[in-house]
Amino acid sequence: MTTVIDYTVVIPTTGRDNLAALLSALDNADGPRPAEVIVADDRRPGEPLPLPPLSLPVRVIASGGGGPAAARNAGWRAARTEWIACLDDDVSIGADWPRALVTDIAALAPDCAGSQARLSVPLPERALTDSERDAAALMTAWWITADMAYRRSVLAELGGFDERFPRAYREDSDLALRVRRAGYRIEPGERVTRHPVRSEALLTSVRAQRGNADDAVMRHKYGGRWRELVGAGPGRLGGHVRATAALTVAVLSAAAGRPRAALTASAVWAALTAGFAADRIRPGPRTAREVTTMAATSALIPPAACWHRLRGELSVWRHRERSRERTAVLFDRDDTLIEDGPYLADPGGVRPMDGVAASLRRLRAAGVPVGVVSNQSGVARGLLTERQLAAVNARVEELLGPFDTWQVCVHGPDDGCGCRKPRDGLVRRAASVLGVAPSRCVVIGDTEADLRAADAAGARGVLVPSPRTQPVEVLRARREQRVADDVGGALRLACVT
């Protein structure tokens, strides 16, 4: 019996010329067709996005110009399938790519969250230039999202890509680290996708130093060993700092009328810059153009790298300060966000509770993170599949907007897990994903188990009774002044809005 795999292809784009060729290749490829292709247009609003005639269902959504991480988030959140296949708009796929993708993901165990394609980069047979060496490194890099398939449920659990990474740089490694830390695996697949070597302008490598701001975010999130964790190599920041410091001392000494100190510092700067340039020139073709480019950019890269790293560290500090005061709101799903249908397996049965959509809009407009913490033991009982659960949760987001994290316990009452409410696992995991302390979380639900989970995590719980809430639970919560008539009242009681 053939396994049926539903998948959506998400393509973030800035309107590259290759987009039309990629869509045409998808349209003409052999194998199971995607349920939908979502093109996340990340350009300025108002510009038309020309697409070729296609028989595939293609939906174009505007992603706001926030970069590839934000565009991919917009794409997978709009999707309705469990598997999301991300493709960059500059890659090329083979004629059997859909069949190879489905073969790759059909073989994965439930604890495997993603499948990574094998990238092929067309390289010349001569010695490689600096930019060509960077492109060649993609073939052995870990977790490149140029062609990566992820389970939608895992993306929802972890909040997707971190949008603090505005470039196509580190956002894929960051997500992969969070996926692995959550206990999932990412496996290499057999499908092969071609990635181009982009032409290099004179200052391409200097502009690339903006990535040092993203490196500051990685250091903040994963500590000083983050490069080892993502297989990135040692980096050159230390040398850039020394060269920039020498140049700064030379300039300041000259301005202060200290020629000897200025001359000494200039000599140190020249030696460090020459060494850096030589390291970049030595393995290359050593043409006049390449040598000139390496010499010029080797003088500019160190101060650019230091500037962007300082900018990144400042951004990290500001984010940390904001996070200390930020409050997050976590919702139970059934009879809090949507009407409870016992072991709901059909997305068509999703019915939002009255007033919830308006409350969520106010929270998002105020910048308050929102998440879901939900017991779904129907999976353990065999009454619905994880695929059906993911489809229902996707429908909830379609009707109520995106949640920053979905934390779902699929275990049964007797499984002894640490996540099923009234235990605190779901609340603590949600707080961790959202980057807030559990004590800064408000948990809103319709049973005493929601309140007890909040208490166990050090969060604040508010009960919004539903027809299934036991009278004794309401009575106890009223004594503790933790009852509201609806979600809006719960937010006011918790002083969130």
Residue 233: the pLDDT is 85
Token output for 339: 């009407």
Residues 17 and 162 reside in one and the same domain: yes
Token output for 86: 């991300």
Residue 109 φ/ψ region, left for φ over 0, alpha for ψ in the -120 to 50 degree band, beta for the rest? beta
Residue with tokens 């609340």: 427
Mean of per-residue pLDDT scores for the chain: 93
Residue 252: the pLDDT is 97
Q: How far apart are CA 387 and CA 394, in angstroms?
A: 11
Per annotation, catalytic residue among 90, 334, 424, 446: 334
User: Does the residue 56 lie in any domain?
Assistant: yes
Token output for 484: 């509201």
Question: In the beta sheet, which residues pair with residue 148?
Answer: 86, 116
User: Does the residue 1 lie in any domain?
Assistant: no
Per annotation, catalytic residue among 42, 104, 130, 332: 332
Residues 39 and 78 reside in one and the same domain: yes
**Domain range enclosing 129:** 7-199
Residue with tokens 């004594």: 479
Residue 339: the pLDDT is 93
Residues 51 and 159 reside in one and the same domain: yes
CA distances from 271 to 75, 240, 268, 276, 290 (A): 48, 12, 5, 9, 20
CB 101 within 8 A of CB 171: no
CB 94 within 8 A of CB 402: no
Residue 161: the pLDDT is 96
Asked which of 171, 199, 227 is the last residue of a domain, the reply is 199
Question: Of 476, 466, 238, 482, whose CA–CA distance to 334 is shortest?
Answer: 466
Residues 394 and 365 reside in one and the same domain: yes
Residues 178 and 54 reside in one and the same domain: yes
**Domain CATH code at residue 381:** 3.40.50.1000
Residues 128 and 118 reside in one and the same domain: yes
Residues 382 and 288 reside in one and the same domain: no
Number of domains in the chain: 3
Residue 488: the pLDDT is 94
Residue 315: the pLDDT is 94
User: Does the residue 457 lie in any domain?
Assistant: yes
For the question of residue 88 being annotated catalytic, the response is no
Residues 460 and 311 reside in one and the same domain: no
* Residue 414 φ/ψ, nearest 5 degrees: -105, 10
User: Which portions of the chain are predicted below pLDDT 70?
Assistant: 1-3, 497
User: Does the residue 451 lie in any domain?
Assistant: yes
Residues 17 and 137 reside in one and the same domain: yes
Asked which of 199, 226, 241 is the last residue of a domain, the reply is 199
For the question of residue 111 being annotated catalytic, the response is no
Q: Which residues does 108 contact at the CB level (< 8 Å), separation at least 6?
A: 115, 187
Q: How far apart are CA 373 and CA 385, in angstroms?
A: 18
pTM of the model: 0.89
Residues 96 and 173 reside in one and the same domain: yes
Residue with tokens 């140190």: 268
Residue 200: the pLDDT is 74
Asked which of 297, 324, 351 is the last residue of a domain, the reply is 324
pLDDT in tens, 417-427: 999 999 999 99
Residue with tokens 């508010």: 462
Residue 47: the pLDDT is 78
Helices (H), 351-402: 356-365, 386-400
Residues 174 and 47 reside in one and the same domain: yes
Q: What share of the chain is helix, strand, coil (3-state, %, to 5)?
A: 45, 15, 40
User: Does the residue 2 lie in any domain?
Assistant: no
Residues 27 and 145 reside in one and the same domain: yes
**Domain CATH code at residue 148:** 3.90.550.10
